[in-house]
Amino acid sequence: MTAEQERFAEKMTYWSKMRDVVQHEDNLVHHRFTWLLQYEAIIIGGFFLAENAALTNGATRVIVATQLIFGCLMVLSLWFVWINGTAIASAYTHIRSVNDAWRRRYSEERHAPIKIERWLFRSNKDKVDETTEPPVGASEEFPPLRGMFTHSTVSYIQSSAIVLMLFNVIGLIVCGVVTYVVLANPEALKVTPKTAVQNVFVGTTVRNSGN
- Convert the pLDDT of each residue in 92-143 to its tens digit: 888 888 888 888 888 877 766 666 666 666 655 555 555 555 555 556 677 7
- Any domain includes 108: yes
Q: What's the number of domains the chain is made of? A: 1
- Any domain includes 62: yes
Q: What angle do CA 22, 27, 32 make, to 5 degrees?
A: 125
In the predicted model, residues of the chain with pLDDT beneath 70 are 57-58, 111-140, 146-155, 186-211
- Any domain includes 156: yes
- Any domain includes 138: no
- Any domain includes 204: no
- Write down the pLDDT at residue 208: 44
Cα-based distances in Å from 56 to 48, 59, 66, 114, 131: 12, 9, 13, 54, 61
Domain that holds residue 72: 3-112+143-181
- Write down the pLDDT at residue 211: 47
Give the chain's mean pLDDT. Answer: 77
- Any domain includes 82: yes
- Write down the pLDDT at residue 204: 47
Q: How far apart are CA 39 and CA 146, in angstroms?
A: 29
